[in-house]
Chains A and B, each alone.
Chain A
Amino acid sequence: MNPVVRGLAVYLFVFIVFRIMGKRTLAEITTFDAILLLIISETTTDALIGEDYSLMACFIMVCTLVGTDYIFSKIKEHSQWFHIASEGAPLVIVENGKPLKKRMKKSRVDEQDVLEAARSLHGLERMNQVKYAVLERDGSISVIPETR
């Protein structure tokens, strides 16, 4: 198969799969996630290069992937719909110390994830010390502490 078509197909497929699996898939790297990412990268490498180990195939593949990424970023600049569809939008998951359960459940985030972010970012001890927690576009959790 043509290396450009191969590169595009793998890029789009991996992109769609990670969007389906949700933002937390890449943000939260546990031991299991790290193993999963290693296996996925190995598998996609084989599919990307096939049996063509030439230098030219490598150049074509790198340019295809970088070029596709550049085109995507340009489309995102001009289309807010595409920007949100491809990267998502932030979501408030804790308001005034109160976890917003439905939002958290849908986003596959639990209270322990919020408390972990609160501890590591601000040294907070309890949920009622959190004014807002926001699930960001990249899957990380930002915490705004309650001011006293």
Chain B
Amino acid sequence: MTKKAFEIVKTDLEIQEHLDAHKTGFIVQKFGIVFIIGLVVAAALGVFGDGILSKRSDAKGDILLEYERFYRHEARMELSFVMVNVANDAEISFPNQYLKDVRVESIIPEPNSTRIERDKVHYSFEGKGNMRITFYMVPRKMGTLNGSIDLNGHSFSLSHFIFP
């Protein structure tokens, strides 16, 4: 906005208008509103989790891993394994390092057994046929989290970015 576009007023009021500050403020407001709208659109698309840009999946054989690429600190996220025509029981192993940064809140269905071995936590599930196992997890660290999860001999590498 140019100075000519803004009405110049000479009043007898004892007032300090700081017109230049107003002009700068209106420009900052315009950019600010664009930023707010951008933030809302990005959030709706899943840049901060729970959206199409955040969902990731990785398939190996008859196993599909679904997880969130982006999420928020101290919010509950899902990590699911979908298995088709499983002949044997399923065993899912998480590295201790990954579980140090992510708290497992609940597992559906509940594992048959849990054991710790060689820096990994192993969860065993009984069942055959089609299976869906969901871990509800809460990130305890902000920034990048990496991990490698094993399921019945298949290794899945995953990476999350956790916002504050």
Contact = CB atoms under 8 A, between A and B. Distances in A.
Interface of A: 1, 9, 16-17, 19-22, 50-51, 84-85, 88-92, 95, 100-103, 106, 132, 134, 144
Interface string B9-44: 101010111100110011011001101100000000
B21 A20 contact: no
* Among all A-B residue pairs, the 10 with the closest Cβ atoms: A20-B32, A89-B18, A100-B7, A84-B21, A106-B26, A92-B9, A95-B9, A84-B18, A20-B29, A90-B15
B15 A1 contact: no
Interface in B65-97: 73-74
6 contacts: A9-B164, A20-B33, A21-B29, A89-B16, A90-B16, A95-B11
Most buried by A among B6, B7, B11: B7
A51 B74 contact: yes
A131 B40 CA distance: 42
B110 to A, nearest CB: 23
Nearest to B142: A1
Contacts of B7: 95, 100-103
B5 interface: yes
**Interface SS, B side:** loop
A88 B25 contact: yes
A136 B122 CA distance: 65
Contacts of B22: 88-89, 91, 106
Nearest to A5: B164
B164 A132 contact: no
B16 to A, nearest CB: 6
Given A20-B33, A89-B21, 19 more contacts: A17-B36, A20-B36, A21-B29, A21-B33, A84-B18, A84-B21, A85-B25, A88-B22, A89-B17, A92-B9, A92-B11, A92-B13, A92-B15, A95-B7, A95-B11, A100-B9, A102-B5, A102-B6, A144-B13
A103 B33 CA distance: 19
Contacts of B21: 84-85, 88-89
A95 B7 CA distance: 10
Nearest to B26: A106
B11 A132 contact: yes
B17 A1 contact: no
A91 B17 contact: yes
Contacts of B164: 1, 9
Contacts of B17: 89-92
